[in-house]
Amino acid sequence: MRVLMIVATFALGVTALAAAQTPAPAANPNELKVGDQAPDFSLQAGDGKTYKLSDFKGKQAVVVAWFPKAYTSGCTIECKSLAEHGDLIKKYNVAYFMASVDPVADNKGFGEMHKADFPLLSDPTKETATAYGVLSSPTGVARRWTFYVGKDGKIQAIDKKINVATSAEDMAAKLGELNVEPAKK
């Protein structure tokens, strides 16, 4: 019994030493941070227009709310929140979008179904999703992260914990926290 206790204690010591010497997993070196220049994009939306981030520089703040997949439950709830409570967001001088790696036709139908009065961007090549670090490796869909980009083109905030049911209210609150200027009347 005593030998067993000694062996167990030794094993715990070796395990603790190995854990202490094992480096923590490195953060994604390409992951964007607050203060970084937001990667420019040129993406087609379900409304038939193509939107470029650079077109807003110096004019408006931009919010890009990445979502995993059109027609799924969480994404439906988030889209409805933004469609039904977009008036809260429109109090600010901001252009806002939902974005996914779905085809344009999917986002068009999804937006129409939920009466979205904002563009749903499509990134079927996944290049922009990759540049923003939102592409999920195992599933190939975007993570539900929201990026707040200032008029200067720099990332002001990244929200990785989205409550889909209060997405619009939370987005408006964050715009207020970031001191985004009010919309011109």
pLDDT single digits (tens) 98-139: 999 999 999 999 999 999 999 999 999 999 999 999 998 778
Task: Give residue 107's identity as a one-letter amino acid code.
Answer: N
Mark whether 75 is an active-site residue. yes
Mean model confidence pLDDT for the chain: 86
53, 62, 64, 75: the active-site residue: 75
Q: pLDDT tens for residues 151-172? A: 999 999 999 999 999 999 999 9
Domains defined for the chain, CATH in brackets: 31-177 (3.40.30.10)
Count the residues in the chain. Answer: 185
| pLDDT score at 67 | 93
| pLDDT score at 30 | 64
